[in-house]
Amino acid sequence: MTGSPQGPAHTVIQLTDTHLSGGGQFVRESADTTGNLRLTLDHLEASGRSVDAIIVSGDLADAGELDAYRRLRSMIEPTAQRMGARLCYAMGNHDDRASFRIGLGVGRNGSTDLAAPYDRVDQVGDLRIVTLDSTVPGRHDGAVDEARLAWLHGVLREESPGGSLLVLHHPPVRSPVTTVDHLRLNRPEALTSAIRGSDIRMILCGHAHHTGASALAGIPVWIGPPVSYRTDALPPAGRHRAGVGFGFSRIDLFGESAVATAVDVVGVDDLYSEPEAVVLERLRALTSEGV
Q: Residue 3 — very low, low, confident or very high, per pLDDT cuts 50/70/90?
A: very low
pLDDT of 272 reads 67
pLDDT at 273 (0 to 100): 78
- CATH superfamily label, 10-290: Metallo-dependent phosphatases (3.60.21.10)
CA geometry: angle 82, 88, 92, nearest 5 deg: 130
d(CA 264, CA 26): 20
Q: What pLDDT, on the 0 to 100 scale, is given for residue 269?
A: 65
* 141 three-state secondary structure: coil
- Spatial CB neighbours of 155, under 8 Å, sequence gap ≥ 6: 121, 130
Give the confidence band of 287 by pLDDT, cuts at 50, 70, 90: confident
Q: How many CA atoms lie within 13 A of 93 on its CB side?
A: 19
CA dist 211 and 22 (Å) reads: 26
**Dist. CA 47–CA 113, nearest whole Å:** 40
A 10 A CB-CB count for 24 gives 13
273-285 pLDDT, tens digit each: 788 888 888 888 7
- Give burial (CB, 10 Å; 0-12/13-18/19+) of 113: exposed
The whole-angstrom separation of Cα 223 and Cα 230 is: 12
139-194 residue pLDDT tens = 999 999 999 999 999 999 999 999 999 999 999 999 999 999 999 999 999 999 99
Number of neighbours of residue 117 by Cβ within 10 angstroms:
20
Q: Is the pLDDT of residue 290 over 60?
A: no
Its pTM stands at 0.92
pLDDT of residue 271: 63
Burial 249-269 (b: 16+ CB within 10 A, else e): bbbbbeeeebebebbebeeee
Distances (CA, A) of 88 to 14, 53, 123, 129: 9, 7, 11, 8
